[in-house]
Chain A
Amino acid sequence: MTPFKLQIITPDGVIFDGMTDNVIVRTTVGDKGILAHHEPYVAAITISKFKVRIDGEFRYGAISSGVIKVSKEKTVILAQSCEWADEIDVDRAVHAKQVAEERITEYSKANDHKNLDIAEFKLKRALNRLEIAKLK
């Protein structure tokens, strides 16, 4: 298939900058596959798994909220954080999961909705990472 240019950029640096022929991400309105010559397109990405085909093989990664932008010359994924499956720090994710679960019980007792939302968000991220770490 026709290859196209993909960049994955996070605040901590550029994670990927190279050619691919297929990208699949989960946007707020559903899964979306991008091939070459896609129309210009912008959508928000949720906490999810994404797939990129490089040299005929899919590579998996974890993404926590971001935006995908497809334009004529390249496709850009802007992510708050993003790791390839084999780069996920499992210990950290397990720890984050425990902390988030403790917080959720604590905040739901205290009826603190704002902090509860944040804790749930963190739990989702940890679970997402743990699930994807199994795919490597």
Chain B
Amino acid sequence: MATGNMKDIKRRIKSVSSTRQITKAMELVASSKLRKAKQRSENGRPYFEAQYELLSEIASVKKDFSTIFTEPREIKNRLFIVIAGDRGLAGGFNSNVLKHAVAAHKDDAVKPKIIAIGRKAVDFFEKRGYELVGRYPYFAEKAKTGNCMDIAQIAGDLFAVGEVDEVELFYTAFVSPLVQTPESAKLLPIANIGAGTGDDNGLITYDPSPEAVFDRVVPKFLMSMISCAVVESFASEQGARRTAMENATDNADEMIANLSLVYNRARQEKITNEITEIVSGANALS
């Protein structure tokens, strides 16, 4: 049997091992990017926490405290900020977060406006006829907080002029390098800001007024929320890609092992056949 067959198997082994090389390389790249992304997200945390503390302290100063950013209103139009990746091959990473965003507005009368971060998100919502008020492809990897300020500004402005009544953020939370879950968080109106912790509440002097400081802080707060979410999503993407590529590499290994087994068996069979032929030929002669 099977010289033709053996050639086929050999070719397949070759193609699987070159695929394996690629998946292995992608796995390594993803894990090094993951390490960097985790570092970045740790760097940003103190700022975010200090920001949150400040907002909650201001909010707890006065009971009758209210600004345009805290007042709840009737929700007619919503704005979704959706963060997905720029590339595929990351398991369910992109589709999970996009599905999560779509499921969140299935009962709404009007489609939400979208700010899409990541090429996959831009493509997805453009294809489905959503109104995109912001497009940020190839953004996450090099995202500086300054760039997130632009997004926060757009969201804050739309909310302030009443074009949208609610702003929600969709991202992928980094639970562990193996587990990432799509999450959403309400950005505006700001509700449930907990009471402050400091004991000098009410004694703080706000220059010029608590409301003025609060309104200055809100865009920064949005910005740091968004930038935290972008960094975290990026870490999740790398985690998801690493897992996916690790699986692919393992599968390739298994396939190569199976194919080599089949190949060796065929080779052995061929040799046995040849020997039998030679022996029977020799027997016939003698």
Within 8 A of B (CB), among A38-73: 39-44, 65-67, 69, 71-72
Given contacts A67-B213, A78-B50, A80-B149, contact A11 B224 (CB under 8 A): yes
Chain A residues in 8 Å Cβ range of B48:
11
Quick check: A12 and B205 within 8 Å, CB to CB?
A: no
Chain A contact residues, CB within 8 Å of chain B:
9-14, 27-29, 32, 39-44, 65-67, 69, 71-72, 76, 78, 80-81, 118
Chain A residues in 8 Å Cβ range of B220:
65-67, 78, 80
Quick check: A11 and B208 within 8 Å, CB to CB?
A: no
Quick check: B145 and A44 within 8 Å, CB to CB?
A: no
10 A-B pairs in the complex with CB atoms less than 8 angstroms apart: A10-B47, A11-B48, A28-B216, A40-B203, A42-B205, A42-B207, A67-B54, A71-B198, A78-B50, A78-B51
Given contacts A9-B50, A78-B50, contact A44 B216 (CB under 8 A): yes
User: A9–B54 Cα gap in the complex (Å)?
Assistant: 13
Chain B contact residues, CB within 8 Å of chain A:
43-44, 46-48, 50-51, 54, 58, 144-146, 149-150, 153, 198, 200, 203-208, 212-213, 216-217, 220, 223-224, 227
Where chain A touches its partner, the secondary structure class is strand
Q: Which residue of B lies closest to A12 (CB)?
A: B43
Quick check: B207 and A41 within 8 Å, CB to CB?
A: yes
Quick check: B200 and A81 within 8 Å, CB to CB?
A: no
Nearest first, the 5 closest Cβ-Cβ pairs linking A and B are A43-B207, A11-B145, A13-B43, A40-B204, A44-B216
Chain A residues in 8 Å Cβ range of B205:
39-42
Q: Which residue of B lies closest to A81 (CB)?
A: B146
User: A28–B207 Cα gap in the complex (Å)?
Assistant: 8
Q: Which residue of B lies closest to A14 (CB)?
A: B46
Q: Which residue of A lies closest to B58 (CB)?
A: A42
Chain A residues in 8 Å Cβ range of B47:
9-11, 78
User: A14–B45 Cα gap in the complex (Å)?
Assistant: 10
